[in-house]
Each structure stands twice: as structure tokens, then as C-alpha cells.
Amino acid sequence: MMKPSGSPSVGGQAVVEGVMMRAPSAATVAVRRPDGSIIVRVRSSFPLAKRWPVLGKPGLRGMLVLLETMADGISALNFSAEHAMEQKDEPEGKPGSGSMSKVAIGGTLAVSVVFGFALFAALPHFLTWGIGSILGIESLKSGTSAGFHLVDGAIKLGIFILYIWLVSLMKDMRRVFEYHGAEHQAIFTFEGGLPLVPESLARFNTWHPRCGTAFLVTVIAVSIFVFVGVFPLLGQISANKLVNQVAYVFIKLPLILPIGAISYEIIKVAHRCSGNWFGRFISAPGLLMQRITTRRPDRAQQEVAVVALITALHPERAGVGAGVAEQILEFRDYEAFGGWFNSGDSGSAGSGVS
């Protein structure tokens, strides 16, 4: 089922007790508070590709979207964590209690990249090298052979699946995975041209081919092919075997961005070809992984996803536009949001619409 002709492309992410949605002109976060109310942050979005169109070309846009999505995601997670739990003991206006600064987001992004690189690049590489050294298999001791990177890729995929499975066992993460399912259902509803209401969302499953999980699985697959093609061309960098392997690991670091760019284009092609065997073949591994990373949401979670998507598509209704970059809206419940949106009133920062 395809989105209505001419409609914008949307995407999203689950956060703590809520959903983030991205549309061409806005990114929103809707969070369910412990008292059942819904708080929404509506923020104007002006991607760098709009300022510099060359960055929107194939080969570059994937790297840019990856970085922008990670930055938006960290900011959204921070906002949701602040509002999804009671903060009775924290004085209003306490230093550091607000949203993360750009410096803090940048620092968190850097730490996330380092952690991901260590877990999914360095660890598989040294495990493969260690196996080769223990078993005396020359191809697995080299760090450059095609066989080395096939085994490295298999270990990387195994670590990724194990990591996702272990995370899924956490009670709080199960809630996030339910919101993840609600996010996908909302996007399916929009792409199908149906009314954005919880009843429409309930008609769809929770596995979407353009999910971030599908993207990560594609990144792992693409990295295997890129490393198999690149590393056999490299010679020894140092006479010291350990230094040699460390150097090979760091060579992988700058390759992350082109791998991400290629993966992004593959996901886009798979989405355009979703009706034929090629699209289904490319999407299958990511959809399979989403059986772990998504769960069936309840109606309350679907309501939050609807609020996030509607406000992302209509930021002007929240008063976001020329000269106003961000607004915070509060609603007593989903019905209050519907009444506000249908009334045509514009929101304002801290308006407490309810």
C-alpha cells in the first residue's frame, strides 16, 4: 500500500513513553505523562540539504540523513525522559533541568558513535583475528582477506541480534518497542491515505520496511561487501601484528559514512520496489528483526503516535513557522487534542491546551 500521490515522506522513532515524528518541515515529540496527559514539542526542521542542495544528491544524502536523525533522536529521547516520569522533587528552573544543549547533544552523539564502533566494528574484528590465531587459520589472521571479513560480518550480525534480544528483555524497553509499533502503524496509516485515528492504526502490523532496524541490518550486510572489496587491496601497515590489526580497525571508521550512504539508497530502492520480489527480498531481514524490536501497542500508545504525526504534518497549527522555531503544547488527553486540532485554534508555547 503506497502513500497518497504527492504526499510528504515521514519517518519516526520510539522514545520513552512516546513517539518522535519527522516530516519535511517539522520534527515533533509526543509523550504520555504519568497522569495521562500528552505533552508535545513541535520544532521546525530545516535540513541542511535544503540549504545546500548538493548534500541531497544520492551518495551524500544518506550520510546527512543518518547524522541528522541521530541528533534529532537524542534530543527527542532527552525530552521524553524529562516528561515521562514524575519530577516532584526537582525545582522548576533548576540549572540543567531543561532540554539538552547542542553541545551536550553533540557529545552524546559522539559517545554513541564510539560505543557503536567499538561494539560492532572493533569487537568482531578482534574476535575474528583471535579465532584465526588460536586455530592457525592464515586467512583469519590476515585482517584483509575476503574470508576474514565474511566471518567478521557473521560475528557482527550475531552480536547485533544478541544485543537487540537482551535489550528486549528489559521491562522499560518493552514499552519502547510497543511505541515503536505504534509509530509504524501511524506511518502505514498515513501512507495508505486513511484517517489518522487509532482505529485506522489498529488495521496494520508493526513491521515497516523503512524502519531504522531494517537500515542497521542493511548497513551490516553492505559493510561485509565493502570490506571484502577494499581490504584485500591493502598490504601490511606494520611489522607488529597487533598494530596492524588496530590500523585495519581504524581504516573501517571513515568507511562508515559511505556504507551508510549506500545502505540508505538500497532502503529507498527497496521501498520503491516493495510490490515485487526484489523489494521484498531486500526488506525481509529487517522485517524479521522487527519481530524483536516492535510489539503490538495499545490504544493509548496509538493515540500518542497519532498526535506526533499530525503535529509534524501541520506545525503551523501549533504556531511554528516564520520566526517561531519551537512550541510546547499540553493536552489533558487525546480527546482534548482532537478538539483543539479540529477547532482551528493555534497553540502557543506552554499554552497548556486541555
Sheet bearing 26-32, strands edge to edge: 11-15, 18-23, 26-32, 38-44, 326-331
Sequence ranges of the domains in the chain = 11-85+103-343
Q: Would you state the cell numbers that stand for residue 307, as one nine-digit string? A: 498526535
Check pLDDT > 70 for residue 148: yes
Q: What does the pLDDT read at residue 59?
A: 65
Q: Would you state the cell numbers that stand for residue 79, as one nine-digit string? A: 525530552
Average pLDDT rounded to a whole number, residues 129-154? 93
Q: What does the pLDDT read at residue 94?
A: 42
Check pLDDT > 60 for residue 202: yes
- pLDDT tens-digit map of 62-100: 667 777 777 788 888 889 988 987 554 444 444 334 455
Q: What does the pLDDT read at residue 320?
A: 86
Q: What does the pLDDT read at residue 115?
A: 84
- For a pLDDT cut of 70, what percent of the chain falls above it? 83
- pLDDT tens-digit map of 1-42: 334 445 678 889 999 999 999 988 889 999 999 999 999 999
- Return d(Cα 329, Cα 60) in angstroms, integer: 35
Q: What does the pLDDT read at residue 50?
A: 67
Average pLDDT rounded to a whole number, residues 201-222? 88
Q: What does the pLDDT read at residue 117?
A: 87
CB contact at 8 A, 182 and 173: no
Amino acid letter, 226? V
Q: Of all helices (H) and strands (E), which one includes residue 30?
A: strand 26-32
Q: Of all helices (H) and strands (E), which one includes residue 28?
A: strand 26-32
Band (103; pLDDT cuts 50, 70, 90)? low
